[in-house]
Amino acid sequence: MADGARQRDAAITVESLRVDRGGREILHEVSLAVATGTVTGLLGPSGCGKTTLMRAIVGVQIVAGGAVTVLGRPAGAVELRRRVGYVTQAPSVYADLTVFENLRYFAAIAEVGGRRLGGGRVAETIETVGLNGYEHRLVGSLSGGECSRVSLATALLGEPELLVLDEPTVGLDPVLRAELWASFHELAGLGTTLLVSSHVMDEASECDSLLLMRDGALLEQVTPDGLRRQTGEQDLSRAFLAVIERAEAETGHRAKAEADPGNHPEAVPEVEPKDAPGSGAGR
């Protein structure tokens, strides 16, 4: 069946995922599929539910409903712990250890299950994230960007089949950012699947596929080119705005049909002023 084939090719499938936090639903019926060996960008403003969705995929989030399948297994399954690498937005490494000591510890854990990482693996990973020469510095003495690179390196160590990276390029200089994206593509070329979140649209063009999120819902799953075609906007930031505007117009119509619009201030598209005729006239 076509659906079966899709399931096999997908590294991640999410079906009708709902997540509640503090008595409030923060992910509403999210469904998506991420193809194996691709770089997928998860984009949306801060607080739209990107991190929660990533946590659900890694299997550390308590979910209220729906199904998340990762590499053919339910998210959070024991065997996935060595097949999935997760990097949180805040660097989760030991500030009171050196870069090398951090990586050596996480390498020892990643090795469990009989997969030997060669002696050079730690050095190789340090090279990938551009931290050569920093091996014996305490992580606590590094800058924010350097810290997040150590955090990224720990996830790369075990060469996982799926990498879930929550805003890995925040606070990095443009050169390093380009280098990291190059290594993401290199990994994808070797068959690794990457799900990378970002709140800046200029990284969207780096991705094979885009997941556009807003207010706990998935607006669109589309390729960068598809998004440009669909909206007629060359600039991906503007294209995303167009998608949001369209989605909000739809919910606005629904709200109007259901009740007095005066009671639904949230149904008014808040992006309207930015996309007012005046701002577009210069193009």
Partner 1 sequence: MNLKTTIATGRRVLWQIRHDRRTIGLLLAVPTGLLILLYFILEGQPRTFQQLGAPLCGLFPFIVMFLVTSIAMLRERTSGTLERLMTMPIAKADVLFGYALAFGLLAALQTAIVCTVGFLALSLEAPHGAWLVALLAIANALLGMALGLFASAFAKTEFQAVQFMPAFVLPQLLLCGLFVDRHEMAGWLHAISWAMPLTYAYEALAKATEPGPLGSAMTWDVIAVIAFTIAALALGALTLRRRTP
232: left (phi over 0), alpha (psi -120 to 50) or beta: left
Identify the residue among 67, 109, 178, 268 touching partner 1 (CB under 8 A): 109
Residue 166 vs 233, nearer CB to partner 1 = 166
Structure tokens at 270: 């808040």
Using CB under 8 A, which of the segments 83-91, 126-134, 185-193, 268-276 binds partner 1?
Answer: 83-91
User: Applying CB under 8 A, which of residues 38, 61, 169, 209 lies at the interface with partner 1?
Assistant: 61
Span interacting with partner 1, options 1-9, 98-106, 179-187, 219-227, rule CB under 8 A: 98-106
- Written as one string, the DSSP assignment of 107-166 is HHHHTTTT-PPPTTHHHHHHHHTT-TT-TTSBGGGS-HHHHHHHHHHHHHTT--SEEEEE
- Binding-site string for partner 1 from residue 190 to residue 209, where x marks contact by CB under 8 A and - marks none: --------------------
Ramachandran bin of 18, using left for φ above 0, alpha for ψ from -120 to 50, beta for the remaining angles = beta
Least distance between partner 1 and beta carbon 154 (Å):
7
Closest CA to 193 of 238, 224, 160, 147: 160
DSSP SS3 for 258? helix
How many residues make up the chain in this entry?
Answer: 283
Binders of partner 1 in range 63-82 (CB under 8 A): 76, 78, 81-82
From 101, 159, 179, 275, residue interacting with partner 1 (rule: CB under 8 A): 101
Binding residues for partner 1 restricted to 213-272, rule: CB under 8 A: none
Q: Which residue has the tokens 């960008």?
A: 41
State the residues that interact with partner 1 by CB under 8 A.
21, 58-62, 76, 78, 81-82, 84, 86, 88, 90-98, 101, 105-106, 108-113, 138, 154
